[in-house]
Homo-oligomer: A and B are copies of this chain.
Amino acid sequence: MLPFKTLLVIDRNSEIAVYRQLANQMVSLINKGTLLPNMELPSTRSLALSLGLHRKTIMAAYNDLVAEDWLESVERKGYKVSGHLPAIRPRSYTARSHAGYSGKAAFDFARLDNVPLLPRASTGAKVIVDDGFPEKSIFPIESVSKEYKKLMYQSISDSQAQMGDIGGSAYFKECLSVFLNDTRGLNILTTNLLVTRGAQMAIYIAASLIIKPGDKIIVSDPSYFIADATFLHLGAELIRIPMDQEGMQIDAIEEVLKENKIKLLYIIPHHHHPTTTTLSPQRRSRLLALIKENNLPVIEDDYDYDFQYQQEPYLPLASGDHGGNIIYIGSLTKVLGTNYRLGYMIATNDFLNNALKLKSLIDLRGDMLMEGTIASLLQSGDLARFISKANRLYESRCNYAYELIKNELTDVVDFVKPQGGMALWLKFKDAYPLSNILTKASSFGLEMTGSAYHLGDNAKHNAIRFGYASINEQQMDFAVNIIKKITGA
């Protein structure tokens, strides 16, 4: 039942009779779509009670409205809105007018015209080649859902559980910091760790604290497009550094630093997004020295660290001697899948405290159930075992994809085998404009949703990420065959 008491407001000082005020307002509710055709109305008795009016006043209003064809009286049932309104046709739910929100905002606000939205695959796709997401079928659903339910019951009796922890629950941070120290050669305490909703929130927060409009920052060419959009939204001017097979060119960074006041360096040293190249150990050492010399703030985005196929992993910059200048950002999303968005930021305690405060304005409380669930997987070692298993699978899929594309598409694409991660970076030759290929592929049931860098400022790249981790060999065969067919290779 609609709240007629607030919908119908009577002005006793008006020159219009109360019953007619009522009738007019009901017509307006019908025209707005709040009262729909054939909707039953409250009895005169109950509406009178609810509005504090005499029942005869309501009857007078209803009688007028029946006379005007707005209402119908139904024998022994009372009144309903007419099913055959003269002025308006019966409308389905979605066609209801929505007076308040149907137009445009009449006030000024910021337009983010240059922020690109993530692509979505059409629902009819036979095979989706994504940006580099994990294989979902190996996820330990049983143990996760069991733990999740257990924690829901536990939280009933936990008097602290309503409070949440803006920066991550203490137990999760403890387990995560041990995991990060073990796997990444870090030496952090939980006071250096902020849990965020995915790595993206960490990037947004760190950049917001550092960048002021007009500041110059260094990024790679190309660089992760959502990070680009974040920095541009905050008013930064991007200085782009070329990439080659050893990662970002440190000579070029050094030159830029000599001639500019640089507020931030954004770098993805492992399996760079989008190009998949890894910063070489030699460049890593030189860059660390540069960072320390210049007190250069750095966001090290290490979204993909856990998937390295060489015998011993390359450590992050953050494990080196950087004088507290590196803000290290990572995520468990590439391990667990996009359903589980646990990211984190590692920084000196003073920076982290301010990041925590900004986080409280954006996302007041953490996801305690999810944090608790994953903490138990970290603690038991299940997560480490799951990562090993995933690594073996992804490495074999990487090898398969590499051989397949090398054999079938060598005249169509240039690419290099990555040292880890979940995607290849396919640079289509100029003769094969990516826009055409994507459109045609879609018509054959192949959707390629990986980050593509062939439009606008990035047009020179004509390249796309080919995620191999989430598709099996048959699906890769299908995808490569379609591309081959389209390109006539």
Question: Across the interface, do B110 and A136 meet the contact criterion of CB distance under 8 Å?
Answer: no
Q: Does A187 contact B (CB under 8 A)?
A: yes
Give the distance to chain B from A185, nearest Cβ to Cβ, in Å.
Answer: 6
Residues of B contacting A323 in the complex (Cβ-Cβ under 8 angstroms): 100, 103, 106
Residues of B contacting A136 in the complex (Cβ-Cβ under 8 angstroms): 155-156, 161-162
Residues of B contacting A106 in the complex (Cβ-Cβ under 8 angstroms): 295, 323-325
Give the distance to chain B from A201, nearest Cβ to Cβ, in Å.
Answer: 6
Question: Across the interface, do B200 and A364 meet the contact criterion of CB distance under 8 Å?
Answer: yes
Answer whether A118 and B163 are a contact pair too, CB < 8 Å, given A101-B192, A186-B98: yes
Question: Across the interface, do B161 and A339 meet the contact criterion of CB distance under 8 Å?
Answer: yes
Answer whether A3 and B185 are a contact pair too, CB < 8 Å, given A324-B105, A357-B112: yes
Q: Does A407 contact B (CB under 8 A)?
A: no
Question: Across the interface, do B197 and A197 meet the contact criterion of CB distance under 8 Å?
Answer: yes
**Cα–Cα, bound, A296→B106 (Å):** 8
Question: Across the interface, do A354 and B197 meet the contact criterion of CB distance under 8 Å?
Answer: no
Interface residues of A in 284-308 (CB under 8 A from B): 284-285, 295-297
Question: Which residue in chain B gives the minimum CB-CB distance to A138?
Answer: B156
Q: Does A83 contact B (CB under 8 A)?
A: no
Report which of B121, B156, B351 forms a contact with A160, defined as CB distance below 8 A: B121
Answer whether A156 and B137 are a contact pair too, CB < 8 Å, given A107-B295, A112-B358, A312-B5: yes
Question: Across the interface, do A321 and B100 meet the contact criterion of CB distance under 8 Å?
Answer: yes
Question: Across the interface, do A152 and B339 meet the contact criterion of CB distance under 8 Å?
Answer: yes
Name the residue in A4, A233, A362 with the highest tally of chain B Cβ atoms < 10 Å from its Cβ.
Answer: A362
Chain A, residues 86-123, CB within 8 Å of chain B (1/0): the string is 00000001101111111111111111100101111101
Answer whether A356 and B117 are a contact pair too, CB < 8 Å, given A136-B155, A141-B149: yes
Interface residues on A, range: 35 or more
Question: Across the interface, do B361 and A187 meet the contact criterion of CB distance under 8 Å?
Answer: no
**Cα–Cα, bound, A296→B351 (Å):** 37
Give the distance to chain B from A273, nearest Cβ to Cβ, in Å.
Answer: 13
Residues of B contacting A119 in the complex (Cβ-Cβ under 8 angstroms): 163
Question: Across the interface, do A349 and B101 meet the contact criterion of CB distance under 8 Å?
Answer: yes
Question: Across the interface, do B3 and A315 meet the contact criterion of CB distance under 8 Å?
Answer: yes
Q: Which of A202-210, A378-386, A433-441 contacts B (4 or more CB under 8 A)?
A: A202-210
Report which of B148, B159, B233, B297 forms a contact with A361, defined as CB distance below 8 A: B233
Answer whether A314 and B6 are a contact pair too, CB < 8 Å, given A357-B117, A361-B229: yes
Question: Across the interface, do B198 and A364 meet the contact criterion of CB distance under 8 Å?
Answer: yes
Q: Does A363 contact B (CB under 8 A)?
A: yes
Question: Across the interface, do A361 and B226 meet the contact criterion of CB distance under 8 Å?
Answer: yes
Residues of B contacting A96 in the complex (Cβ-Cβ under 8 angstroms): 187
Report which of B33, B284, B297 forms a contact with A187, defined as CB distance below 8 A: B33
Name the residue in A7, A119, A341 with the highest tally of chain B Cβ atoms < 10 Å from its Cβ.
Answer: A341
Write the residues of chain A forming the contact surface with B, with a CB cutoff of 8 angstroms.
2-7, 9, 32-34, 50, 93-94, 96-112, 115, 117-121, 123, 125, 128, 130, 133, 136-137, 139, 141, 144-145, 148-149, 152-153, 155-156, 159-164, 166, 178, 185-189, 192, 197-198, 200-201, 204, 208-210, 226, 229-230, 233, 281-282, 284-285, 295-297, 311-315, 318-326, 337-339, 341, 346-351, 354, 356-358, 360-365, 367-369, 449, 470
A sample of 5 inter-chain contacts (CB < 8 A) reads A9-B281, A100-B324, A133-B162, A198-B363, A363-B363
